[in-house]
Chains A and B, each alone.
Chain A
Amino acid sequence: MLANEVYIADAGIATALYLSMALGKPLLVEGPAGVGKTEIAKALAHALDTKLIRLQCYEGLDATTALYEWNYPKQLLHLKLEESSSASEAEKEAAIFSEAFLLKRPLLQAITEHERAPVLLIDEIDRSDEEFEAFLLEILSDFQVTIPEIGTIKATHRPHVVLTSNRSRDLSDALRRRCLYHWIDYPSLDKELEIVRAKVPTIGQVLSQRLTTIMQRTRTMGLSKIPGVAETLDWANALVALQATELNDEIMAETIGCFLKDEADVATFKATQIATD
């Protein structure tokens, strides 16, 4: 299924996704940065031909940005327009606190999607704070939301939920237990090569082989920012754009910024490279 989506899946991720759908449980994907955790959700949405709704987490994220918020300007405007009308206070209240004045944020969107179950991607959940995690837990357990003014909104289709985490903070046991778990590591040489050739088809056989080998070796150098697959692809794209056919010193110097983002790491890389060549 996923092969068509230019996502090179392995048995592990395929099994996890299958179970997540079969059991209706959210899937928690952990792994180092840049190994394609987010891509899983995108590929899944594409494969199921459904909408991808993404909630990017950050510190301080709260219900008004994740779930819903009232559209205040619209409410105020409505009240002004209705000023001279004979509607009672209760009627006015009912009018401005109705669905038409509701701004749906990603979580509510995912719940109210009526055509078919969307894929809900909750990205970098470890960046949000513990309060938000607890709030999320509630949503993920029954897929319903209670808005005091409107009532309870129940999911028409249970969304397929994918959560990703970089492990910058420990998630609560409760959340972990609610989810299926999958760990994505850096790919093997063969798999990475396959990914590069699938995503950047115009890159030559020799060049892709050489580039992937270097990337694999880079990850064992003990750098402070280990490049992920995203960086490999950036680099591959850069090489194609520069119409490079081989990796000589000049090309290397021009494009090293694609996969090494730290001055000290560049120095380490060069030193190790010379030592091994």
Chain B
Amino acid sequence: MEIENLVTFCRALRERGLSVTPAEVVTAATVLQVIDTKDRDEVFLSLRSVLTTSIDDFPVFAELFEAFWNRSPRKLIERDSGTTVRARNVSPPKGLAFFLENWSASVRAGAAPVKVPGASDTASRAHKDFTDFSHEELEQISQLARRIVKRLASKPSRRWQPVARGHRVNLRRSLRLSLKTGGELIELAYKRRRAKRTKLVVICDVSGSMDMYSRLLLQFVYGLQNSFAKVESFVFATTLSRITGELKNKTYRRALDRLASNVQGWSGGTRIGASLANFNVQWLRRIDKRTVVIILSDGWDTGEPEQLAHALSKLQERAGRLVWLNPLLGNSMYQPLTRGMQAALPFINVFAPAHDLASLRALEPHLVL
């Protein structure tokens, strides 16, 4: 493979999502100088070890290498960029745009009229359904999210940090201090265990049946996301989208705007099982015993319950805790009898309601590992 071909090949890999930067291209070029470039297998194995960073990259690499070894690089790039352009031209489904426009409009409307703090006590407001929440109340939800996040960060880890007063002597510092007094240990320095950081993964159902609640729940997720670095958020209806980046915005409004342009399939049907299976394929590696996974959904699934059960069992095995928040649980008449919910129950560590502020508040202790 010649240098030009190699560069085109690397570009093709990059377009397919591999992290091939100029640095890797340079390394790859160096590699070609130290191996037998006529030996197809040797070139394949060598370039693969340089240009891939994970086994997940192998199929794409193999496919493109095949094409390039048979010398048709030009065509491949053209075809490739062609598909990207076409994909971008596809407009997001109407439902999503409509939903988000109306949604942000209603947030603005709620903020405009001056709210007179009436005689209504906090308790009754806490039981009001999310559908008619005002701007300030949404702010309360953000505050609650921040409180929860704070508690998450309060477990001791195995790492140490120096402190003024503590139970363990920091020998390194103490010795250094002792030099001032001619090697006599008079002043002691201390250390304590650093707080352990629990990670949070939130997977929120935004399908049609959840419309009433998704506005509030997303506000909650937004609050979580912005008070703590280690939160990953996802939404799904029929397909799964990662929205961590979109939510990391100074204002909720702007976050919503970005969501509107980047997330597809809003308010559609629900395929929980498939969405979670998809989550597992892409993200399960990031889940560990220090991760709390929260699923926000009403459990109305149009897919196969077996798929849901399988995906959840994988998830629970890997995570520190699996929490399922179901807004419908707030209704005392509700029984989790849907096939999806029935299949899911054995794998859930905490099954709790999430239809109002009080229920979110009650959640606090469950989120601490």
Contacts and interface: CB of A to CB of B under 8 A. Distances in A.
Interface of A: 11-12, 15-16, 19, 22-23, 25, 27, 30, 59-60, 62, 69-70, 72, 75-76, 79-80, 82-83, 89, 92-93, 96, 129, 131, 167-170, 173, 176-177, 179-183
A30 B288 contact: no
Dominant SS among interface residues on chain B: helix
Contact of A89 (B158, B179, B286): B179
5 contacts: A83-B182, A89-B180, A168-B288, A176-B54, A183-B55
B54 A181 contact: yes
A72 B183 contact: no
A19 B34 contact: yes
Interface in B128-176: 157-160, 171-172, 175
Contacts, number: 89
A100 to B, nearest CB: 15
B58 interface: yes
B52 interface: yes
B49 A182 contact: yes
A240 to B, nearest CB: 34
A96 B42 CA distance: 53
Among A12, A72, A177, A181, which residue has the most Cβ atoms of chain B within 10 A?
A181
Interface of B: 19, 21, 23-24, 27, 30-31, 34-35, 41-42, 45-46, 48-50, 52-55, 58, 157-160, 171-172, 175, 178-180, 182-183, 185, 285-286, 288
B19 A72 contact: no
Contacts of B48: 181
Contacts of A170: 285-286
Contact of B49 (A76, A129, A180): A180
A177 B19 contact: yes
A129 B55 CA distance: 21
A177 B41 CA distance: 22
A62 B48 CA distance: 32
Given A16-B45, A23-B30, A170-B286, A89 B24 contact: no
Contact of B53 (A15, A70, A177): A177
B49 A11 contact: no
Contacts of A131: 159
